């Protein structure tokens, strides 16, 4: 069931409840009023007839019958009996009461209670006792309130028809209102349906209002903006990655083709193959980094307490193994216990981060030396990776963490511009911060700060 019909039905139920209760109250009150009014008529009828009979000496049984026969205030199918205080029937006019058998005991109980009432669907009866200075009497009067009942029935019929017709009208009117209120949503749905992954530049029309639907449309536009940017970044990433891979691949195939042009000496073959292997290694490393980059985007990275000092030693071994002329000098200071050097992190990613920083320090310095300092003081652990190399121009400081960016100082040095963007991503994943301090020609210092691991138990 769509929202429009559901809203209309909910509104219908609500209105029918309110109107239904109101109609029932009105009808009940009208029914009570009819009963009270007929009751009053019966009482005054009984009283006036009894007074005429008892108080006016000239009026006897015969005269009274004559008067009453033509009385305009007689009830329909009226029956009227008057009893004196000794239970003697003074007069009975009109129909039989039918609703009650009058016995002396009943008359005594009426005298005690003052009044007795009987109502059926056909006939109504009122018996009451009147005490007067001369003598009391009991009047029993019954009749039919055809007019009052017909009026009441008519009123009920009108109310029922009004109620039913009203419900039908309310359903259709509320559906129309709901449709009008939800039409911007319908437009939004059509707009969104027309947006595809290949055309994320399109936007929905948020209109001029400030209502919830306009807010939803604006939020969708924000989301589309973010998606477009993310898709764009991904596209760029793929283009840049394939470009970076093409360079060593072209170099490899070029060298092999040149080698195949003519017969070569064993020395030539050895040199060419050495260079190809180097390019293959570079390609492999690039591939590893690209893979690592993709992994940092995955949601399923596991974290555990990791000791950074142990990772530094492991990273150092790796860096020295790839290039034997590299030097990594490690200082670990300012800590009291091993837990001061422990962070909550992913071992593989943190190790990759340290290797990248060490390799850069060695790569961009003439002495191929990286100075690594780890400090564990207070709530934080700080890692410094410093070198005395070519340094970075301050204008490039904010860009060196971008994917595939290589600063102007990198000319003549092999690289792909991925390492630092990966480092930054890993630092952020671990809730840490990274900054660089460097000037051209004065070396570079990368400072990373993490929050120390605290065991909750």
Q: Do 126 and 117 form a contact (C-beta atoms < 8 A)?
A: yes
Q: Does 353 bind ligand ADP (CB under 6 A)?
A: no
Phi, psi values for residue 102, rounded to 5°: -85, 120
Work out whether 264 is an interface residue with ligand ADP (CB under 6 A): no
- Of the pair 261, 411, the CB lying nearest ligand ADP is at 411
Q: Does 248 bind ligand ADP (CB under 6 A)?
A: no
Nearest to ligand ADP of 334, 415 (CB atom): 415
Under 8 Å between Cβ of 59 and 82: no
Residue 210: what are its φ and ψ, rounded to 5°?
Answer: -125, 15
What is residue 396's DSSP assignment? G
Is residue 279 part of the contact set for ligand ADP (CB under 6 A)?
Answer: no
Say whether residue 141 binds ligand ADP (CB under 6 A): no
Q: Which of 38, 364, 450, 453 binds ligand ADP (CB under 6 A)?
A: 364
DSSP character for 123? -
Binding of residue 286 to ligand ADP (CB under 6 A): no
Among residues 245, 23, 321, the alpha carbon closest in space to that of 156 is found at: 23
End-to-end CA distance of the chain: 52
What's the sign of the alpha-carbon dihedral 402, 404, 405, 409?
Answer: positive
Residue 327 binds ligand ADP, judged by CB under 6 A: no
Per rule CB under 6 A, is residue 416 in the interface with ligand ADP? yes
Q: In whole angstroms, how close is the CB of 446 to ligand ADP at the nearest point?
A: 7
- Reading the block at residue 9, the tokens are 């039905």
Neighbours of 12 (CB within 10 A): 19
Helices (H), 95-145: 104-113
Contact residue for ligand ADP among 53, 420, 434, 448 (CB under 6 A) = 420
Find the shortest distance in angstroms from Cβ 189 to ligand ADP.
Answer: 44
- Give the contact letters, 174-213, x = binds to ligand ADP (CB under 6 A), - = no: ----------------------------------------
Residue in 387, 424, 425, 453 binding ligand ADP, rule: CB under 6 A? 387
Work out the burial of residue 383: count CB atoms within 10 Å of its CB; fewer than 13 is exposed, 13-18 middle, 19 or more buried. buried
The answer to whether residue 392 forms part of the interface with ligand ADP (CB under 6 A) is yes
Q: How far is the CB of 306 from ligand ADP (least distance, A)?
A: 22
Stretch that binds ligand ADP, among 53-61, 77-85, 246-254, 388-396 (CB under 6 A): 388-396
Q: Max CA-CA distance within the chain? A: 164
Residue nearest to ligand ADP (CB): 415
Report which DSSP code applies to 312. Answer: H
Binding site for ligand ADP (CB under 6 A): 360-361, 364, 387, 389-392, 400, 405-407, 409-410, 415-421, 444
């Amino acid at each position: 069931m769509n929202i429009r019909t559901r809203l209309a039905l909910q509104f219908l139920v609500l209105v029918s409840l309110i109107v239904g209760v109101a109609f029932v109250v009105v009808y009940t009150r009208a029914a009570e009023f009819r009963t009270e009014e007929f009751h009053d008529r019966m009482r005054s009828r009984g009283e006036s007839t009894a007074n005429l009979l008892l108080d006016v000496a000239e009026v006897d049984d015969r005269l009274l019958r004559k008067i009453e026969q033509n009385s305009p205030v007689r009830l329909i199918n009226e029956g009227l009996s008057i009893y004196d205080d000794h239970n003697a029937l003074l007069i009975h006019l009109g129909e039989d009461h039918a609703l009650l058998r009058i016995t002396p005991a009943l008359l005594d109980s009426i005298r005690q209670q003052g009044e007795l009432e009987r109502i059926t669907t056909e006939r109504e009866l009122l018996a009451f006792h009147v005490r007067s200075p001369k003598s009391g009497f009991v009047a029993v009067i019954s009749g039919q309130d055809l007019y009052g009942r017909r009026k009441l029935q008519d009123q009920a019929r009108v109310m029922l028809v009004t109620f039913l017709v009203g419900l039908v009208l309310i359903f259709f009117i509320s559906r129309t209102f709901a449709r009008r209120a939800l039409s911007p949503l319908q437009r939004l749905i059509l707009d969104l349906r027309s947006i595809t992954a290949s055309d994320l530049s399109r936007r929905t029309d948020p209109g001029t209002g400030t209502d919830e639907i306009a807010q939803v449309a604006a939020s969708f536009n924000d989301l589309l903006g973010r998606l477009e940017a993310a898709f764009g970044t991904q596209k760029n990433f793929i283009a840049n990655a394939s470009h970076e891979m093409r360079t060593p691949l072209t170099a490899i195939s070029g060298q092999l083709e040149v080698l195949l042009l003519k017969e070569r000496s064993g020395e030539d073959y050895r040199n060419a193959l050495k260079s190809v292997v180097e390019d293959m290694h570079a390609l492999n490393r690039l591939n590893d980094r690209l893979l690592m980059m993709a992994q940092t985007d995955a949601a399923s990275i596991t974290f555990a307490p990791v000791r950074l000092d142990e990772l530094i030693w492991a990273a150092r071994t790796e860096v020295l193994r790839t290039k034997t002329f590299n030097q990594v000098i490690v200082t670990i200071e300012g800590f009291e216990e091993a837990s001061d050097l422990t962070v909550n992190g992913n071992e593989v990613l943190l190790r990759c981060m340290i290797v990248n920083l060490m390799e850069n320090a060695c790569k961009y310095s003439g002495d191929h030396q990286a100075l690594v300092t780890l400090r564990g003081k207070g709530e934080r652990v700080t890692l410094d990776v410093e070198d005395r190399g070519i340094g970075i121009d301050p204008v490039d400081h904010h860009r060196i963490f971008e994917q595939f960016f290589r600063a102007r100082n990198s000319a003549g040095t092999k690289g792909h511009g991925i390492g630092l963007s990966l480092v930054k991503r890993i630092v952020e994943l671990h809730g840490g911060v990274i900054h660089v301090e460097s000037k051209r020609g004065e070396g570079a210092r990368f400072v990373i700060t993490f929050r120390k691991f605290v065991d909750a138990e």
